[in-house]
Chains A and B, each alone.
Chain A
């Protein structure tokens, strides 16, 4: 018995020392180098609601990415049909379906091309033959759609990660969230609006030729001619919403896109002109650009970013070396942000912010202060009450509660768990609820004493009889904590975590730690009276 008590005493002492050690990095900041070598590096992380920051959920518009893919297939099919000399065939896209229609004579060649070159397309409907024409309906297979979807989301995630890295945020969290969503958390960010701008921009850069033979007015009024589109320039600065924007009729086909960009640099403003972004294309891009400029001298080449025309200079001569620049009356910050998104590349599909939670740093500070205050006041109330009610046994329970909080915090630090405002509330609540176990035990001991048992056997019976109820009630609370964790996001998860950790430490301290005290006293000398 005595040996056993000593062993347990040593165990809890070690546990307490280890907990203190684990908490040093959280409370002493910064650590001197000499110490940080010996101490664990893990510390309690503050949630966005306490340290300030932005939490975003972005929905990747994967349908758009899939449509883009089918559109590319349509263009490919049209080109191949032309190259192979199959004439009179029209290829149209409806959503993610390709609709191919041609005279009876073309049926076999079309079928051949579809089967050999477009194996990833499956029949959406059986081909219809009639009135001297054949119609094919092809669409992407389910597997193909799934892999395109995954690719689009993963690629978007990578690109966003790239952009955020270049923007410079410490310890961002960027992860896939459900089927089509991406979760982005930016702790301690000062300018959330600018970050959103950088993250959310599709940044699809295209070079397209201006069709100067077409009339802009007609194109706006009655739709652009086939193979052409109308895009607008930037509104003139300072004129506000609804200002006149210049319209352009462009060839829909992009000659070159941003995928060939190797680097993008900011060129500071010069006299009358705002800052601009200079693009450096990679070898392939440079060669393509040279060919394009050589073939289109004296025509206007529009630089289009996300369907907005930034400039449309006239090509004076063949341009070698793969350099181009985007001008657009930027200020320096805008130019820098644009350079970031161009370097990181375009998103494969547009994204939309479907959830945003931003907390300013001052609110987080207030929350920490108020949380700590209510923790101290609540704790003191419970301590006074327990000691007044149970005297010495109450003091034992209070020591258990204090160590309980210590173990809880150390566990949070050891697992690098995130502490949120509801998480602080969870700690405060644990203080109030942890004494329940001691109340159950103490009430039992009182009952057993009243029933005339000796102190020693009353304590034993008290612990033994109270245990089932303690375990049951803690397991049920733990269960709802687990459900909460499943359901919750961010701050709420923090509450679920502290609640569940608190239950585990409560059982350890309230049941096993307090028992060591009584067993020690029983073992060391005859315990004839107990203050309870």
Chain B
């Protein structure tokens, strides 16, 4: 079976201007949303307490709110969780004066008074103090930034040592631009879908950084090879040839990754959903950014150098 017939010649670089404009608009929009609205932070990063409940029978959010009222926790936010009909809910409490470890017990007390001890089950409690939340937020952001830069440096060194520092720097820059794009697109999608940002999302972003750079590596590797092999073509057409030659691999690999991710997303349960969602978006964005952003960045550079 073949997805892409050999000798296929899409002129990908022809669309680079449209792609640049589109991606820039999207990325700026995400950045604006990040600074104006801010991401929806989970307890890992914002601090506070999250209690995950499962009831034996149908209850309404209003009833749970009344239970919280009984123990002076009226500020709590109650939301549905999981599949409809499962009667699972999340209660989110901000930092309160009550000592962190005692909040869960207080919630339980209110619920026992309202529903009775046998009617519900506390499935999960997560409490994070404001200081730890701040630290995790800082370290999470830093780890994504450090990983992105390290990918750029790795590619710079890897391709630089084999094919001259200039190409190393070119490929490295292209990869970093593409990675920033993927991370921002994923962050934007998470905000649109109203997912909370927590530790697993950071894990997903780091995985995206590590995986998305693979496509870039493979295509750059091919460009490097073709630059040696094909002498008479322009750089632009070499880039296009290289993208085409690796296209079926890119699509195949992404498909198998998307298959397992879709399986995780639909069957892996609600706890892992934001993680699977991020990876789905990030991997798709990764293919796009490699073809339409990372590779053409090399052309951009070449033309600049040419003018001088």
Contact = CB atoms under 8 A, between A and B. Distances in A.
B104 A360 contact: no
B127 A353 contact: yes
A373 interface: yes
B200 A491 contact: yes
A378 B147 contact: no
Given A196-B101, A483-B143, A499-B207, A428 B124 contact: no
B261 interface: yes
A363 B52 contact: yes
Nearest to B222: A469
A352 interface: yes
A429 B260 contact: yes
Contacts of B260: 374, 378-379, 381-382, 428-429, 431-432
Interface residues of A, number: 75
A421 interface: yes
B180 interface: no
B40 interface: no
A480 B245 contact: no
A479 B139 contact: no
Interface in A475-512: 475-481, 483-484, 486-489, 491-492, 495-496, 499
B269 A367 contact: yes
Given A358-B124, A483-B146, A488-B199, A425 B218 contact: no
Interface stretch (B28-36, B128-136, B291-299): B128-136
Contact of A488 (B108, B203, B266): B203
B258 to A, nearest CB: 8
A447 interface: yes
Contacts of B255: 385
Interface string B90-133: 00000000011100110010000000000001111111110110
B147 A483 contact: yes
A433 interface: yes
Interface string A417-450: 0000110010011011101100110010011001
A377 B267 contact: yes
A89 to B, nearest CB: 41
Contact of A356 (B127, B266, B271): B127
Interface residues of B, number: 75
B214 interface: yes
A422 B252 contact: no
B74 interface: no
Nearest to A59: B129
Contact of A363 (B123, B209, B275): B123
Contacts of B217: 469, 472-473, 476
Contact of A354 (B131, B143, B259, B275): B131
Among B1, B105, B108, B257, chain A packs the most CB atoms within 10 A around the CB of B257
B164 interface: no
A51 to B, nearest CB: 13
Contact of B257 (A359, A432, A440, A478): A432
B124 A374 contact: no
Contacts of B158: 472
A190 to B, nearest CB: 12
B253 interface: yes
Contact of B203 (A355, A382, A492): A492
Interface in B205-254: 206-207, 209-211, 213-214, 217-218, 221-222, 225, 245-246, 248-249, 252-253
Contacts of A133: none
B57 interface: no
A390 B140 CA distance: 40
A370 B123 contact: no
B275 A425 contact: yes
B251 to A, nearest CB: 10
B276 A356 contact: no
A353 to B, nearest CB: 4
B104 A356 contact: yes
Among B142, B203, B209, B218, chain A packs the most CB atoms within 10 A around the CB of B203
A103 interface: no
Contacts of A389: 1, 3, 252
B151 interface: yes
Contacts of B125: 192, 356-358
Given A388-B1, A389-B1, A447-B245, A381 B259 contact: yes
B1 A436 contact: no
A385 B128 CA distance: 43
A378 B218 CA distance: 25
5 contacts: A358-B126, A362-B123, A367-B272, A439-B249, A446-B6
Nearest 9 pairs between A and B by C-beta?
A480-B210, A432-B260, A378-B263, A378-B260, A353-B101, A473-B214, A370-B269, A354-B129, A477-B210
Given A354-B132, A385-B259, A480-B209, 11 more contacts: A353-B129, A354-B100, A388-B1, A389-B252, A421-B271, A421-B272, A436-B257, A472-B221, A479-B210, A484-B203, A492-B199
